Amino acid sequence: MNVKIQSIKFDADQKLLAFVEEKMSKFGKYFDGIVGAEVSLSLEHASDDKNKVAKVRLEVPGHDLFAENRCKSFEEAIDLNVEVLKKQLTKYKEKLRG
């Protein structure tokens, strides 16, 4: 699976990039038809400390699955997105089976 990671308004360190790559690679266990993934990490100005936003788009044949979360850390946001996308993948696979 092809994973594109984009960091907006900051430079992501190697540890964060490796974490994202690892999490995205696990989607292959749930569905082998994933074409690619696009991950967007950004910092936003917010009054509280939840200023880290992670957006993940999974490309599957004929459809795109999307999740977005705002948290205190990018790792937490990515973990939440993974859980949301697992549910979406399960529903997508059930639709394919008819």
Find out whether 43 and 63 touch, Cβ atoms under 8 Å: no
Structure-token pair, residue 50: 């939840």
Q: Which domains does the chain have, with CATH numbers?
A: 2-97 (3.30.160.100)
Q: Which residues pair with 59 in a beta bridge?
A: 36, 64
Residue 29: which pLDDT band, with cuts at 50, 70 and 90?
Answer: confident
* Cα–Cα distance measured from residue 75 to residue 45, given in angstroms and rounded to the nearest whole number: 18
* Cα–Cα distance measured from residue 63 to residue 75, given in angstroms and rounded to the nearest whole number: 26
- In tens, the pLDDT along 46-98 reads 778 889 999 999 999 988 999 999 999 999 999 999 999 999 999 998 988 87
Local structure of 49: helix, strand or coil: coil
- pLDDT for res 70: 95
* Cα–Cα distance measured from residue 81 to residue 62, given in angstroms and rounded to the nearest whole number: 21
Predicted TM-score (pTM) of this structure: 0.91
- pLDDT for res 48: 82
